[in-house]
Amino acid sequence: MAKDLANKKRRVHFEPDNVDIAVEQGANLLETAIQAGARIYASCGGAGVCGTCKVLIEKGEVETTRTEKLSDEEYEQGLRQACQSRIITDLAVHIPVESRLETAVLARERKGMATGDQQLEALATGWRFNPPLSKFFVELPPPTLQDNVSDLSRVLRGLKQRYKLRNMTVDFDVVKKLPQALRDSDWKVTVTTLLTAIEPQAPERRRPRVINVEPGDARERHYSLAFDIGTTTVCGQLLDLNRGRTVAEGMDYNRQISYGADVITRIAYCQRPGGLQKLQQAVVTTINGIIKQLLRRSRIDTQHVGHLTVAGNTTMIQILLGLDPKYIRLSPYTPVATYIPLVKANSLGIKVGEHVYLFTFPLVASYVGGDIISGIVASGVHQRERLTFYMDIGTNGEIVVGNSDWMVTAACSAGPAFEGGGVKHGMVATNGAIEEFDINPSNLEPVVGTIGGERPKGICGSGLINIVAGLLEAGVISQNGKFNTDLPTKRIREGSDGYEYVLTEAPETQIGKDIVITETDIDNLIRAKAAMYAGCQTLVKSVGITCHDIEQVIIAGAFGSQINVEKAITIGLLPELPLNRFIFIGNGSLLGTRLTSFSTDMLDDARRLAKVMTNFELSENAAFMNNYVAALFLPHTNADEFPSVAGRLTKLADNQSKQGVAA
């Protein structure tokens, strides 16, 4: 059979993307969808174990290996796991809502979040507007027999005389363009220079690099790009370096998401033949799409963009640069480099001018990437004496503790619960995800609210926190996360995975099934929050303080932005501190790339920070393991860590036992 499949072309049509592609008969359907540019989500990267890439075969025939992720009912409806299917005939394929990536919800912003320019400035202060990318206009005397120095010498002399610039490094490409540029414009040219981050030990060694020359006075068109490369989403900004403002902002899902939801799956995918190249191409395609969008919207030509600054976690950055992330996953978790030399952006396939360099934020360790340094710089933690927690909560959470004098950091592997992974009805935070949750204490009936107000499809991570906190405060679950099965409600029932609580019944959902939260789900959340909190504790104890000494908590990241602080404290994810000590900065990484595009001083701060920050490796740390076990409770086994929550829960328990007595 396999023999017959070769060399026959089949056409596949994908809806609702409305894209067509012709491929070899026998091709994998998931790979084909990715290739066609259809928006499809494959959490496990095509291993067949997650069930997120289910598609409806509307016309034609596929050959599928069935897994337990596909019910008989689904199979009969015509649903197949794309990753497990080979194309036999021409196909019409529909990607159902739960397997799709919706870009519409990407731009959700927390109300009152400190991301506007004014609030931003209040966070990082005292920085000068001195962008690393500069344009200089020189009017040069034309050469004569008495003064026939080389074209390059003439330009450098002009820059020295007019702008006191010296000790320049010149790109060879500039030398190539120079004779024409000078003579096309009557010896008046604009020179673009780039300052790179200093060597902390040797700031005096910095040499401006001449990266471009344009005929005439081209100072007016002077732009730069700043990007955060997230595992899930990629966000970019087009910056006007003359006016110090953001011209346009755009974002999209990282197209690597079709190869796996988290960094570990992606690293695994990179080990396949051609895997690294595919993932690199996926993120480059994403970046190019955003750049195109930004330029089109602002009617700016590519050639006027002179620089590109990116930050991201270590895995994302290594893949973008074509550096195998293999050793990030293997103990002792070494990244390739903490400071990446400048590289021409177009050598990676990024569609910008030949003269544009890619500057990558310096990083600290395999799991404390440049996105964290970028966020710290953006939030000015290093500028103040105030003792600060900086947290980016997620599958791979990062924590920094410190102030202007010192800084320590650690990464916590929390598992995928915060992003809806390992949760029966878990999903990413897109339309239809249950996020709001309240419970009527009298009858234990739920009130749920979804993102986008649609009928529920599943539960996102922030929803899970709200649900567990709600169930805990209502006494529906106990502090060890188990259901109180004595309660008089049908919502609690025994399901295929043990006890569960029904959030929404089938008719009210988009998926035609009851949406429930199970004890396993709750257990996964407890383990996730325990990892984060134990990380915080381990770090603060290592410097001789406690969580209660923290004067400010900065929460970064898309997931963090959606967290309800009170509920997060209730379950023991965030330390019990006055609510006004919490600040949400959203995409701190993007903020930092923007700020360092405007300020060389801040760029220098980033380089210094990456050098001085001490990383604690928690993975085999005994203190961390003890803290972790102690945190496997709601909110914590040590009530002193969460005195108010513990007090409320004690009161509740008393009430319940009284009612139990009364009943």
Rule CB under 8 A: choose which of 18, 144, 496, 580 binds its own copies.
Answer: 144
Rule CB under 8 A: choose which of 339, 351, 424, 625 binds its own copies.
Answer: 339
Least distance in angstroms from the C-beta of 324 to its own copies: 6
Structure tokens at 294: 């930004």
Least distance in angstroms from the C-beta of 456 to its own copies: 43
Choose between 144 and 496: whose C-beta lies nearer to its own copies: 144
Choose between 314 and 462: whose C-beta lies nearer to its own copies: 314
d(CA 155, CA 159): 6
The binding track of 555-594 with respect to its own copies, each residue x by CB under 8 A or -, is: ----------------------------------------
Q: Does 191 bind its own copies (CB under 8 A)?
A: no
Contact 351, 337 (CB under 8 A): no
Q: Does 657 bind its own copies (CB under 8 A)?
A: no
Least distance in angstroms from the C-beta of 367 to its own copies: 10
Choose between 92 and 343: whose C-beta lies nearer to its own copies: 343
Axis-axis angle for helices 370-379, 588-598 (nearest 10): 70
Closest by alpha carbon to 234, among 595, 603, 555, 590?
590
d(CA 400, CA 322): 28
Q: What Rg, from alpha-carbon coordinates, does the chain have?
A: 27
Region class of 317: left (phi > 0), else alpha (psi between -120 and 50), else beta: alpha
Contact 260, 294 (CB under 8 A): no
Peptide bond into 203 cis (omega under 30): no
Q: Does 662 bind its own copies (CB under 8 A)?
A: no
Contact 550, 539 (CB under 8 A): no
Least distance in angstroms from the C-beta of 149 to its own copies: 7
With residue 361 as reference, give the H or E element that holds it.
none
Window 438 to 457, contacts with its own copies (CB under 8 A): none
Longest dimension (CA), the chain: 109
From 90-98, 324-332, 400-408, 501-509, span contacting its own copies (CB under 8 A):
324-332
Least distance in angstroms from the C-beta of 222 to its own copies: 24
Structure tokens at 537: 């504790």
Label residue 654 exposed, middle or buried (CB < 10 Å: 0-12, 13-18, 19+). exposed
d(CA 188, CA 494): 80
Least distance in angstroms from the C-beta of 404 to its own copies: 24
Q: Does 336 bind its own copies (CB under 8 A)?
A: yes
Q: Does 273 bind its own copies (CB under 8 A)?
A: no
Residue 460 DSSP symbol: -
Rule CB under 8 A: choose which of 365, 467, 476, 649 binds its own copies.
Answer: 365
Choose between 269 and 616: whose C-beta lies nearer to its own copies: 616
d(CA 494, CA 182): 80
From 67-75, 337-345, 508-516, 536-544, span contacting its own copies (CB under 8 A):
337-345
Q: Does 198 bind its own copies (CB under 8 A)?
A: no
Rule CB under 8 A: choose which of 335, 402, 446, 572 binds its own copies.
Answer: 335
Rule CB under 8 A: choose which of 1, 2, 104, 202 binds its own copies.
Answer: 202
Choose between 31 and 151: whose C-beta lies nearer to its own copies: 151
Label residue 74 exposed, middle or buried (CB < 10 Å: 0-12, 13-18, 19+). middle
Choose between 146 and 580: whose C-beta lies nearer to its own copies: 146
Choose between 154 and 529: whose C-beta lies nearer to its own copies: 154
Q: Does 5 bind its own copies (CB under 8 A)?
A: no
Q: Does 215 bind its own copies (CB under 8 A)?
A: no
**Residue located via tokens 């970028």:** 374
Q: Does 146 bind its own copies (CB under 8 A)?
A: yes
Q: Does 337 bind its own copies (CB under 8 A)?
A: yes
Q: Does 300 bind its own copies (CB under 8 A)?
A: no
Least distance in angstroms from the C-beta of 173 to its own copies: 9
Structure tokens at 203: 């700031």
- Name the CA dihedral angle for 362, 254, 329, 334, rounded to a multiple of 10 degrees: -10
Please work out, in degrees rounded to the nearest 5, the angle formed at the alpha carbon of residue 502 by the alpha carbons of 500 and 508: 155
Rule CB under 8 A: choose which of 18, 118, 125, 148 binds its own copies.
Answer: 148
Q: Does 340 bind its own copies (CB under 8 A)?
A: yes
Q: Does 320 bind its own copies (CB under 8 A)?
A: no
Least distance in angstroms from the C-beta of 167 to its own copies: 5
Q: β-strand 433-439 against 458-459: which pairing, if any? A: parallel
Least distance in angstroms from the C-beta of 175 to its own copies: 5
**Residue located via tokens 């204490």:** 441
SS3 content of the chain, % helix, strand, coil (to 5): 35, 25, 40
d(CA 274, CA 277): 5
Rule CB under 8 A: choose which of 201, 443, 496, 580 binds its own copies.
Answer: 201
Least distance in angstroms from the C-beta of 266 to its own copies: 17
Least distance in angstroms from the C-beta of 96 to its own copies: 41
d(CA 58, CA 49): 23
With residue 582 as reference, give the H or E element that holds it.
strand 582-586
Least distance in angstroms from the C-beta of 278 to its own copies: 18
Closest by alpha carbon to 238, among 280, 301, 194?
301
Rule CB under 8 A: choose which of 71, 242, 271, 334 binds its own copies.
Answer: 334
d(CA 536, CA 572): 11
Closest by alpha carbon to 587, among 337, 238, 127, 226?
226
Q: Does 622 bind its own copies (CB under 8 A)?
A: no
Structure tokens at 488: 């008089």
Rule CB under 8 A: choose which of 52, 84, 232, 338 binds its own copies.
Answer: 338
Q: Does 502 bind its own copies (CB under 8 A)?
A: no
**Interface contacts to its own copies, rule CB under 8 A:** 143-154, 166-167, 169-172, 175-176, 178-179, 183, 199, 201-202, 205, 207, 321-324, 326-327, 331-343, 365-366, 617, 619-620
